[in-house]
Amino acid sequence: MKNKIIIIASIFLFVGCWLIWNKRAQTKEEVIVKEDSIYKDTEVKAVIIPSENNTFGYDIYFHDAVLIHQLSRPCIPGNAGFATEEDAMKVANLVIKKIHNNEMPPTVTIQELRELEVL
């Protein structure tokens, strides 16, 4: 368990430093971001992926490197993903918006899942 935490923290630290040095591309998604965000011009994209029991998750990419591999619904016990690809994309877009606004790590709350109507 400690090894996983250390690996995840190291990934976030590495990607954060890498992004500061490599701010260059614009995202394909239209999101409103804070002007002072260090990640506002970072190339971030989501790809929907299959998950357990015919459900869906998502990968979040930074400049073609996977930063987040989310197979299950955040904040919800169990391993099942989202019921539809559209639901997974709604949450992935929220995560991208949080990244662009310097919210690192880009955690998702149960309230946000309710607001997106993906529960």
Contact 31, 94 (CB under 8 A): no
| pLDDT at residue 7 in the model | 59
Domain ranges in the chain are 2-115
Which DSSP category does 82 fall into? B
**pLDDT (tens digit per residue) in 77-111:** 999 999 999 999 999 999 999 998 889 899 999 99
**pLDDT (tens digit per residue) in 15-60:** 554 444 443 333 333 444 445 566 667 788 999 999 999 999 999 9
| pLDDT at residue 80 in the model | 94
Residue with tokens 């990934």: 11
This prediction's pTM: 0.68
**pLDDT (tens digit per residue) in 66-76:** 999 999 999 99
* Tokens describing residue 119: 């529960």
User: Using a CB cutoff of 8 Å and minimum separation of 24, what contacts does 47-53 make?
Assistant: 48/85, 48/88, 48/89, 48/92, 50/81, 51/79, 51/80, 51/81, 51/82, 52/79, 52/80, 52/81, 53/80
